[in-house]
Amino acid sequence: MFPGIDAGAFAGPPAATAIFTTVLTEGPVSRVALARRLGLSSAAVTKAARPLIDLGYLHELAATERSGPGAGRPASPLAVRAEREFFLGVKITADEVIGVVCDLRAQVHASARRPLDDPDVDAVLTEVDRLADDLFDAFPGDRTRVRRLGLALSGDIDRGIGLVRYSPFLHWRDVPLGRLAAERTGLTVTVENDVKALTAAEHWFGEGVGAESFALVTVGTGIGCGLVVNGRLVSGSYGVAGEIGHLTVDATGPDCHCGGRGCIESIAGTDAIVAQARERTGRPDLTIDEAVTLARGGHEQVRAVFTRAGGAIGCGIAAVANLVGPTRIVVSGEGLAAYDLFDSHIRASFERQAFGAAARCPLFIRPLPFEEWARAAAAVSIQSLVVP
Amino acid sequence: MFPGIDAGAFAGPPAATAIFTTVLTEGPVSRVALARRLGLSSAAVTKAARPLIDLGYLHELAATERSGPGAGRPASPLAVRAEREFFLGVKITADEVIGVVCDLRAQVHASARRPLDDPDVDAVLTEVDRLADDLFDAFPGDRTRVRRLGLALSGDIDRGIGLVRYSPFLHWRDVPLGRLAAERTGLTVTVENDVKALTAAEHWFGEGVGAESFALVTVGTGIGCGLVVNGRLVSGSYGVAGEIGHLTVDATGPDCHCGGRGCIESIAGTDAIVAQARERTGRPDLTIDEAVTLARGGHEQVRAVFTRAGGAIGCGIAAVANLVGPTRIVVSGEGLAAYDLFDSHIRASFERQAFGAAARCPLFIRPLPFEEWARAAAAVSIQSLVVP
DNA sequence: ATCAATACTTGAAGAAGTTAAATATTCGCC
DNA sequence: GGCGAATATTTAACTTCTTCAAGTATTGAT
C-alpha cells in the first residue's frame, strides 16, 4: 500500500497501481471509465481505490457536465491529490546543479540552482545537499511531505541500484550515487540517466501520455534519444541505448570527433553549428546566440547552417521512426531554443526519409527550458513511488 | 486452461502460462527452479503445473544428476511433451508457398513446397490449402493433433485480427487472410509478418532464448530487422518497424530505388551485390551464385563487393545496437548463404561503429535455410496457443 | 540408522478479483 | 411532483489464485 509515514514505495494490489497511474497520467476519470480502460470490473475499481482515497492520494471531484445521453447518475471522477506528497528533482551538469520541488502531478513549486566547480563525488554531494536545503527554504508548502529525491545526469546509470557506472563529464566510474545521496540528505533517492528521465517524464506528464510507444529526441551539445516501447522505457544492455548522434546522414559532412564523418552531431550539435557559422561568417568568436540572431535576421549563409542541421535531425528522427515505429515523437533540448529556424526543415527531412505511413507520425518540436531536466528527475522520483 | 479438444487457446492462470512458456523455451526445469525463476512459491508451481501434466502438455523427467551440494531429494524436472500437439507453418513468397509441420518445441517433422504463379488471393488460398494437404500426407504422426496453422509473409500485417493490410509483392490490400485461411483449412490460423515471425521464433526457440531484448537482422533481397525489447516483440505504429534497409551508410554509394543514396540495401541487398559484381566483371549475366564462386576463388574485384556489403551490414547492425541496445543480435537470411564472405567484415564494421560497450554485444551470423521461414510461421502459431 | 539437505505436496488462510443485486442520482416526461 | 430509463457506484457472496506453514519424499554423508 502507499506509505503512510515511512518512505516505502507502493506495494498494493496491481489494480491499485494501475488505477493510480492512470489517474495520475491521464487526469480525472470516473471509476466506470477506469474499469473499462483497465479491463477490470467497476467493483474492483471501487475497492482498490478506497485505500488510495483514505491515504489521501486520490480524491473525488464534484460531478462534471455529462457527455453521454444525458440521463443517469453523474460520475464522480477520481483525481490525484497533487499536494499529498512532494519530490525534489535535481539535474547535475558539469558546472551546475539545478533543482526543483514538484508535487505528485509534477508541477513545479520551487526551484534553485548552484554552481559546481569540482567534479569530485564528495563536492557534488555537498552541493546537492545544499541545493536540497535551498529548495526546502524556497518551498512554500509542508516540508514533511517531501521525502524523495530524483537525480538525473548524463552517462551510464543503473537506476535499479542507483549506481553511476560511468559519467564522462564528471569522470566518475562506479559511484553508488543513490546510496551516498540518501545518506547525505536522508531522502529516498532515485538516480537515472538524464535523457531517460526526460523520456519517462514526457511519457507520464507530457506529450507521451497514453502512447504505447514514443520517442524523445534531444538536441543540444549532443544529440540523444529516449524510447518507450510497449509502454516501457527502453534501457539498453551494455549501458547503451538511444545513441543516434553518430548516425551518418551526410557523407560529405564534416569530420566528427567520433572518427566518422557527417554524423548528426557533427552537423546539428550546438558546437558544430557554432563552428560552421564561424567558418561561414569568417568571425572566429561568433557565439551561438549571435548565430541565431544572424540567421533570424536573414543572413543566408548562417541560415543555411540551421537548415542543414534541421535536415540532419530529421534524418535521425526518421531512422528512429523506421526502426521502432513510435506513435509520437517529441523533439526537444536546449539546442532548439531557436526552433523557429529548425522546425520546418526537421519536418520536411523527416517526411522525406520516413518509410511509408511512418511519415504520419506526429512530431512535437519545441525548446526545452533547462529547469525541465530537473523536473524530469522529480518525475522519475514520482514514478519510483508508484511503480517501484 | 489448455484446450482438451477444441481449438481454443490457453486461458489458464498467469502462473500456468509463465510456467509453460519457461519450460518450453528454456528446457526442462525443476519446480523449485521455476518458482525461483518466476518469483512464485514452489506450492504455486506444483498446483499450476498439475493440470498441464494432466492434459499431457508437460511431463516429469527422471531425476537428473545433481548440481548442488549433493544431498537432498533430487529434482524431477518438468519438460514439454513435444508431440502433444503439432502445428503447420507456411511462408508465402511471391512465387512459392513453403510449409512445415512442427511439434510443440518447433522441431520440424515434415515439409513441402508448392509453386505459386498467381498472386490472386483465391489462388494463394487454394495453394495454401493444397500445401496443407501435402503436409498432412507427409506427416508421419497423428493428424488429429494438428489444429493450428501459422502464415508468414512480408508486408504490413495486423497479427491480432489476421489482416494483411498491405503486401507489396502480392499486391494485396486489406485481405482478411486469417479468416479466409481458417475457412478454407478448418484450422485456427495466425498471420504474422515474416521478419517478425522469424524474430519471435528466434526469441522462443533460437539464439534469442532468455534474452530480455534482442535483434534479428535479415539479409536477402531486402534488409530487414526484427526487435524484441523488454521481452516483447516490437510491432511499430503505422505499420512500420525494423526498416533499416534504407539507412545511409556510404554517401559515395550507388543510387537506391528509395530515392536515397548509399542505403544498406543498395550495397548489401542481393540484387545490389549482383549488379556490382556484373559491373566489376563486365559480365552482364552473372548470377549471385557465380559471384560467390568468383569471390571464394579469390577474384579481388568481386571479393571487394562482398567486403563492402559486409561493411554496410555491420553499420546497420551498429545503428540498431546503438539505438535500442539489444543483449544479442542474430544476423541471418538467404543473403548469408555465402556468410564466409561476410562474417569478418560484418563484425569488424559493427565493432568500429558500435558505441562503447555495445561493441561487446554478441553477434550470431549464419545463413538461413529457406524452410526456416516456414518454421518461424509455425513458431508463431505455437505462441498463439500459449499466449493468446 | 540417523541427520542434514533439498524437492515436492498438502491444506488452511488470505488477497484480489468477479458477478449479481442493491443503491444513488440524474434526466425526460407525464 | 412522481415515475421510469439510464448511468454510476457500492455491497455482498463467491471464485480463483497464491502464499504460508507444516508435512512427506528422497538422497548423501556420517
DSSP B103-142: ETT--EEEEEEEE-----HHHHHHHHHHHHHHHHHH--S-
Q: Residue A128 and residue A197: Cα distance in Å, rounded?
A: 18
- Best B223, B256, B267, B324 member to test A by mutation, with max A CBs in 10 Å, is B324
Q: What share of chain B is helix, strand, coil (3-state, %, to 5)?
A: 45, 20, 35
- Evaluate if residue B6 carries a pLDDT over 60: no
Handedness of CA A290, A295, A298, A299 (dihedral sign): positive
User: Rounded mean pLDDT of B107-135?
Assistant: 97
| Residue B241, C-beta contacts closer than 8 angstroms, at least 6 positions apart | A323, A324, A325, B196, B226, B227, B234, B235
Establish if A7 belongs to a structural domain. Answer: no
- Per the structure, the count of domains in chain B is 3
The C-alpha atoms of residue A154 and residue B362 are separated, in whole angstroms, by 26
- Specify the pLDDT at position B208: 96
B385 pLDDT more than 70 = yes
Cα distance between residue A57 and residue A23, in whole Å? 11
Among B159, B149, B185, B153, which Cα is nearest to B171's? B153
CA of residue B59 to C1' of nucleotide C19, angstroms: 36
Q: Which 3 state secondary structure label does DSSP give A132? A: helix
B298 touches strand D (CB under 7 A): no
Among candidates B22, B25, B9, which has minimal Cα distance to B202?
B25
Distance from CA of B313 to the nearest CA of A (A): 14
For residue B32, tell me if it sits in a domain.
yes
Nucleotide nearest to A42 (CA to C1'): D9
Q: Helix or strand or coil: residue A300?
A: helix
Cβ(B385)–Cβ(B352) below 8 Å = no
What pLDDT, on a 0 to 100 scale, did the predictor assign at position A66? Answer: 67
> Predicted confidence band at A299 (pLDDT cuts at 50, 70, 90)?
very high
Across all strands, nucleotide nearest A32 (CA–C1') = D8
Question: Is B239 close to A326, i.e. CB distance below 8 A?
Answer: no
Contacts 24+ apart (CB under 8 A), A108-117: A108/A371, A108/A375, A109/A139, A109/A140, A109/A141, A110/A135, A110/A138, A110/A139, A110/A140, A111/A135, A111/A138, A111/A371, A111/A374, A112/A138, A116/A92
Strand C at less than 7 A from CB of B19: no
| A357 part of a folded domain | yes
Q: Within this chain, do residues B303 and B191 fall inside the same structural domain, yes or no?
A: no
Determine which of A256-265, A348-357, B23-32 has the lowest per-residue pLDDT on average: A256-265
Q: What are phi and psi of A222, to 5 degrees?
A: -110, 170
Please tell me whether any atom of strand D lies within 7 Å of the Cβ of B39: yes
Q: What is the rounded average pLDDT of the residues B190-219?
A: 97
* For residue A5, pLDDT beyond 60: no
> Which residues does residue A273 pair with via DSSP β-bridges, in sequence order?
none
Residue found under cell 528509395: B258
> Which residues 144-183 in chain B show a CB within 8 A of chain A?
156
Q: How far is the CA of A282 from the C1' of D22 (A)?
A: 85
The verdict on A196 and A270 lying in the same domain is no
What are the grid coordinates assigned to A49, written together? 481505490
Question: How far apart are the two ends of chain A, measured CA to CA in Å?
Answer: 12
Please check the confidence at residue A341 and state whether its pLDDT lies above 80.
yes
Size of interface A-B (CB pairs under 8 A): 149
B53 touches strand C (CB under 7 A): no
**Chain B positions in Cβ-Cβ contact with residue A325 (cut-off 8 Å):** 234-241
DSSP assignment letter at A67:
-
Same-domain status, B361 and B379: no
Query: B88 is written with which cell numbers?
Result: 503447420
A37 touches strand D (CB under 7 A): no
Indicate whether B374 pLDDT > 70.
yes
Whole-number Å distance between alpha carbons of A331 and B291: 45
Q: Collapsing DSSP states into helix, strand and coil, what is residue A80?
A: strand
Nearest CA-CA distance, residue B355 and chain A, Å:
7
**Residue B101 · residue B109 · CB < 8 Å:** yes
Asked if the C-beta of B228 comes within 8 angstroms of chain A's C-beta atoms, the answer is no
Angstrom distance (rounded) from CA A357 to CA A348: 15
In one letter, which amino acid is B185? T
> Is A319 within 8 Å of chain B by CB?
yes
Residues of chain B in contact with residue A247, where contact means CB-CB under 8 angstroms, are 247, 319, 322
Q: What percentage of chain B carries pLDDT values higher than 90?
A: 84
Interchain proximity A323–B243, CB inside 8 Å: yes
CB-based contact A265:A245 (threshold 8 Å): yes
Nucleotide whose C1' lies closest to the alpha carbon of residue A71: C27
Q: Which residue of B has its CA nearest to A242?
A: B323
Which domain covers residue A331, as residue numbers? 211-368
Mean pLDDT (chain B, rounded):
92
Residues B290 and B312 in one domain: yes
Q: Is the pLDDT of residue A279 over 90?
A: yes
> Does the CB of A203 have a partner CB in chain B at under 8 Å?
no
Cα–Cα distance for residue pair B377/B88, rounded to 1 Å: 8
Cell of B147: 489444429
Residues within 8 A of B (CB atoms), A 235-264 only: 235-244, 246-252, 259-260, 262
- The pLDDT of residue A13: 86
Q: Could you write out the three-class secondary structure of B57-102?
A: CEEECCCCCCCCCCCCCCCCCEEECHHHCEEEEEEECCCEEEEEEE
Residue-wise pLDDT tens digits, B260-288: 788 899 999 999 999 999 999 999 999 99
With a 7 Å cutoff on the CB, does A378 touch strand D? Answer: no
* Distance (Å) from the alpha carbon of A234 to chain B's nearest alpha carbon: 7
CA(B50)–C1'(C12) in Å? 20
Which CATH number goes with the domain that contains A279? 3.30.420.40
> Nearest residue to nucleotide D24 when comparing alpha carbons to its C1'?
B73
Residue B178 to residue B99: CA distance in whole angstroms: 16
| Same domain assignment for residues A256 and A125 | no
- Rounded to an integer, the average pLDDT of B32-39 is 96
Query: Model confidence at B223, in pLDDT bands (50, 70, 90)?
Result: very high
The lowest-confidence range among A248-262, B19-33, B48-62, B278-292 is A248-262
Per-residue confidence (pLDDT) for residue A2, from 0 to 100? 44
Query: For residues A143 and A140, what is the distance between their CA atoms, to the nearest angstrom?
Result: 8
Whether nucleic acid strand C comes within 7 Å of the CB of A297, the answer is no
Q: Does B196 touch chain A (CB under 8 A)?
A: no
Q: Is the pLDDT of residue A3 over 80?
A: no
- Do B328 and B249 share a structural domain? yes
CB–CB of A2/A35 below 8 Å?
no
Q: A165 and A135: one domain?
A: yes
Taking only the tens place, the pLDDT of each residue in B136-180 is 999 999 999 999 999 999 999 999 999 999 999 999 999 999 999
Least-confidence region, from A147-156, B65-74, B328-337: B65-74
Q: What percent of chain A has pLDDT over 70?
A: 95
In this structure, the answer to whether residues A326 and A191 fall within a common structural domain is: no
Residue A384 pLDDT = 94
| pLDDT greater than 50 at residue B5 | no
**The A163-167 sheet, strands edge to edge:** A156-158, A163-167, A172-175
Measured between CA atoms, the residue of chain A closest to residue B239 is: A357
Question: B98 with B30, same domain?
Answer: no
Asked whether the beta carbons of residue B323 and residue A324 sit closer than 8 angstroms, the reply is yes
Question: Mind listing the pLDDT tens digit for each residue in A89-98?
Answer: 999 999 999 9
Judgement on whether residues A194 and A130 belong to the same structural domain of the protein:
yes
Q: What is the DSSP string of B4-33?
A: SSS-PPP-S-HHHHHHHHHHHHH--B-HHH
Residues A159 and A184 in one domain: yes
Which of B238, B241, B355 has its CB closest to that of A243?
A: B355
| Pairwise CA distance, residues A147 & A6, whole Å | 9
In this prediction the pTM is 0.93
Q: Check whether residue A68 and residue A113 sit in a common domain.
A: no
Residue B7 lies in a domain: no
The residue of A240, A244, A353 whose CB has the most chain B CBs within 10 angstroms, and thus the best one to mutate to test that interface, is A240
Q: Choose the mutation target among A216, A322, A328, A350 for the interface with B, i.e. most B CBs under 10 Å.
A: A322
Is the Cβ atom of B223 within 7 Å of strand D at any atom?
no
In the prediction, which pLDDT does B376 show? 98
Instruction: With respect to residue A76, please indicate whether it lies within any of the assigned structural domains.
Output: yes
Asked whether the predicted pLDDT for residue B8 surpasses 60, the reply is no
* Grid cell at residue A235: 534501457
Kindly report, residue by residue over B186-197, the tens digit of the pLDDT: 999 999 999 999
**Cell 543503473, residue located:** A158
> A328 Cβ partners below 8 Å, 6+ apart?
A207, A208, A211, A214, A215, A361, A362, A364
Give the domain-ending residue among B53, B80, B107.
B80
| pLDDT of A64 higher than 70 | no
Euclidean distance between CA atoms A241 and B162, whole angstroms? 33
Instruction: Please report the residues numbered 9 through 38 in chain A whose beta carbons come closer than 8 angstroms to any beta carbon of chain B.
Output: none
> Domain holding B67: CATH number?
1.10.10.10
pLDDT higher than threshold 70 for residue B133: yes
Span B345-350, average pLDDT = 96
Please indicate, yes or no, if residue B9 is contained in any of the structural domains: no
Confirm whether any atom of chain C, the nucleic acid strand, is less than 7 Å from CB of A19: no
Among candidate residues A30, A62, A80, the one where a domain is terminated: A80
Nucleotides of D under 7 A from a protein CB: 4-13, 16-22, 25-29
A5 within domain boundaries: no
Q: Which amino acid is at A385?
A: L
For B171-239, the DSSP string reads: TEEEE-HHHHHHHHH-SEEEEEEHHHHHHHHHHHHSTTTT-SSEEEEEESSSEEEEEEETTEE---GGG
Residue B66's pLDDT is what? 65
How long is the CA B206 to C1' D28 vector, in angstroms?
A: 37
CA–CA separation, A184 and A125 (whole Å):
7
- Residues B358-385 have a mean pLDDT of 95
Domain boundary among A80, A110, A131: A80
**With contacts defined as CB-CB under 8 Å, which chain B residues touch A251?**
248, 250-252, 262
Judge whether B137 lies within some domain: yes
